[in-house]
Amino acid sequence: MEGNTFNSNDAYSVSLLEAALESVASAIFVFNEEGNLSFANQVARDLSLARHEEAGLMKVVDDVKLAALDGTFQELEFSLYGPPKRDFTIRTSAPFGNRDGGVIVTIEDLTTRNQLDIIRRDFVANVSHELRTPIGALGLLAETLAFEDDASVRHRLANRIQNEAFRVAKIIDDLLDLSKFESEGSKNEDEISIVDLALDVIENINPTAENASVKVTLEAGEGDFNIVGDPIQLRSALTNLIDNSIKYSEANSEVIVAASEEGDYVVISVTDHGIGIPQKDLDRIFERFYRVDQARSRQTGGTGLGLSIVRHAVSNHGGTIEVESREGIGSTFRIKLPRNRKGDEK
């Protein structure tokens, strides 16, 4: 081997090249000048042996190989509609710059990239929509206020402006929290009493509960409810979860926060006796800006980000969150947190 050139007669060079191709995330097929397969890396072999839905992809590989052997090299996109939908880019090239040396077919899986693009576009669209509504209302209310002489009407308009400004601030605060939780993970390593944290959150949120005529109670038996984690993130998660339960509860009902132990895990659940969540929505409630009841959420000032914040905070602590719900009966959110996150065990 000289410089960056591999000697095809050098067994070590050939082995090194094959090892490099095996480490590539794309599928690589190498065909000789007769169209027979000379080499396929692991990703390519997996596609070749995959289930029947990949048969269409392998048919495209065969078609582009034959076209390349006839001198037509291509780059095209191909999708498998699953479910789930998967997107690929397929390219053909000549190993030595001409078709006499055979054909290389590479397949790049674009599924994750395309999904992230969709999520990003949806996120920008949702943020724009969520902010446009209160900002538009602020402009209209301010314009009306400027020409209103009635003191009582002016007072009412001023209150509306204050509420809309609070709504914008809440959206921005939730976006900042969500961005921080997603990018930083869980940074603090403090010993936290889940019971003490829950009591503090309940005390702070009681004015909201009283305004909604909802009672929030804590149930916790004897035991060790301490975990290692980030108190800011866990406080935010529990606050959003309890606040969400209050908003979707009927007046004169109760939200129960319960702490329990399961081996090396602490479990905290939040149960309400509210309107419940339709079965079709359960898989989507942790998505950003997803609302089960659009009208009620806007009426109560919800941003649609609370449950997404909860999910990320719990995930950052190596925990899980589950939800059980029945329409007209209520919902239970159950957070399970390890006492020590992975890598912290002694």
pLDDT digits (tens, 9 = 90+) for 140-158: 888 888 888 888 888 988 8
DSSP-assigned beta bridge partners for residue 322: 334
Residue 293's CB is within 10 A of a number of other CB atoms, namely 16
**194 and 330 belong to one structural domain:** yes
Contacts with 74 (C-beta within 8 Å, 6 or more apart), sequence order: 64, 67, 68, 90, 91, 92
Of all helices (H) and strands (E), which one includes residue 46? helix 42-48
**270 and 338 belong to one structural domain:** yes
Rounded to an integer, what distance in angstroms lies between the CA atom of residue 305 and that of residue 291?
A: 9
Instruction: Write the DSSP symbol of residue 26.
Output: S
Q: What is the pLDDT of residue 2?
A: 42
Sign of CA pseudo-dihedral 67, 69, 73, 74: positive
**103 and 132 belong to one structural domain:** no
**238 and 279 belong to one structural domain:** yes
Q: What is the pLDDT of residue 144?
A: 87
**193 and 174 belong to one structural domain:** no
Give the residue carrying structure tokens 């669209």.
125
Q: What is the pLDDT of residue 344?
A: 44
Q: Which of 51, 80, 109 is the last residue of a domain?
A: 109
Q: Which of 143, 159, 184 is the last residue of a domain?
A: 184
**167 and 199 belong to one structural domain:** no
Residue 5 inside a domain? The answer is no
Of all helices (H) and strands (E), which one includes residue 108? strand 103-109
Residue 180's CB is within 10 A of a number of other CB atoms, namely 16
Q: How far is CA 291 from CA 2, 217, 326, in A?
A: 62, 26, 16
Instruction: Indicate the number of domains in the chain.
Output: 3
Question: Token pair of 249, please?
Answer: 């509860």
What residue ranges of the chain have pLDDT lower than 70? 1-10, 12, 14, 50-54, 97-100, 184-188, 291-303, 341-346
Structural domain containing residue 168: 118-184
Give the residue carrying structure tokens 């390890």.
338
Rounded to an integer, what distance in angstroms lies between the CA atom of residue 42 and that of residue 65?
A: 19
Q: Could you tell me if residue 276 is left (phi over 0), alpha (psi between -120 and 50 degrees) or otherwise beta?
A: left
Instruction: Write the DSSP symbol of residue 254.
Output: E
Residue 151 inside a domain? The answer is yes
Which spans in 147-254 are helix H? 151-184, 194-211, 231-247
Q: What is the pLDDT of residue 107?
A: 92
**72 and 217 belong to one structural domain:** no
Q: What is the CATH number of the domain that holds 279?
A: 3.30.565.10
**205 and 280 belong to one structural domain:** yes
Q: Which of 134, 162, 184 is the last residue of a domain?
A: 184
Rounded to an integer, what distance in angstroms lies between the CA atom of residue 229 and that of residue 51?
A: 43
Torsion of CA 266, 226, 263, 316, to 10 degrees: 50
Residue 219 inside a domain? The answer is yes
Residue 3 inside a domain? The answer is no
Which spans in 273-305 are helix H? 294-300
Instruction: Write the DSSP symbol of residue 85.
Output: P
Q: What is the pLDDT of residue 343?
A: 40
**138 and 192 belong to one structural domain:** no
Minimal CA–CA distance to 229: which of 314, 305, 294? 314
Rounded to an integer, what distance in angstroms lies between the CA atom of residue 143 and that of residue 146?
A: 5
Minimal CA–CA distance to 250: which of 219, 213, 277? 213
Instruction: Write the DSSP symbol of residue 222.
Output: S
Residue 338 inside a domain? The answer is yes
- Identify whether the C-beta of residue 270 lies closer than 8 Å to the C-beta of residue 332: yes
Residue 174 inside a domain? The answer is yes
**255 and 176 belong to one structural domain:** no
Q: What is the CATH number of the domain that holds 104?
A: 3.30.450.20
User: Three-state SS for 184?
Assistant: helix
Q: What is the CATH number of the domain that holds 143?
A: 1.10.287.130
User: Three-state SS for 41?
Assistant: coil
Residue 2 inside a domain? The answer is no
**125 and 103 belong to one structural domain:** no
Residue 1 inside a domain? The answer is no
Residue 11, judged by CB atoms within 10 A of its CB (0-12, 13-18, 19+), counts as exposed
DSSP-assigned beta bridge partners for residue 40: 29
Q: How far is CA 216 from CA 28, 44, 231, 252, 299, in A?
A: 59, 56, 21, 11, 21
**200 and 342 belong to one structural domain:** yes
Question: Token pair of 1, please?
Answer: 């081997």
